[in-house]
């Protein structure tokens, strides 16, 4: 079992979408600060994280939603 503090093995650039389900990720990198709307792990709750700073964030989910996301240059990491 991996822990949020373990190094990631896979990463992919994310284009926010209200329809695209991603491989479940355990962290997000934000390259340009802003709000990030995420469907959380388990797929039942959407949360908008306001004003995320540039850097890595230990957020687990399977979607980065277009609606509500103003940040850009987002990378999802897992594995």
Tens digits of per-residue pLDDT, 19-44?
999 999 999 999 999 999 999 998 88
Query: What are the phi and psi torsion angles at 19 (to 5°)?
Result: -125, -25
pLDDT band at 9 (very low <50, low <70, confident <90, very high): very high
Contacts of 60 (CB under 8 A, 6+ apart): 4, 24, 25, 26, 27, 40, 41
Contact of 13 with 63, CB cutoff 8 Å: no
Could you give the CA distance from residue 25 to residue 5 in angstroms, rounded to a whole number?
A: 13
- What are the structure tokens assigned to 67, written together? 């609606």
For the chain, the average pLDDT equals 94
Q: What's the whole-model pTM score?
A: 0.91
């Amino acid at each position: 079992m991996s822990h949020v503090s373990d190094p990631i093995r896979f990463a992919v650039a994310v284009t926010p979408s209200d329809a695209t389900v991603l491989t479940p990720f355990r962290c997000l990198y934000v390259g340009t600060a802003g709000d990030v709307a995420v469907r959380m792990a388990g797929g039942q709750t959407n949360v908008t994280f306001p004003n995320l700073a540039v850097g890595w964030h230990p957020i687990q989910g399977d979607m980065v939603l277009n609606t509500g996301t103003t940040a850009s240059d987002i990378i999802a990491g897992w594995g």
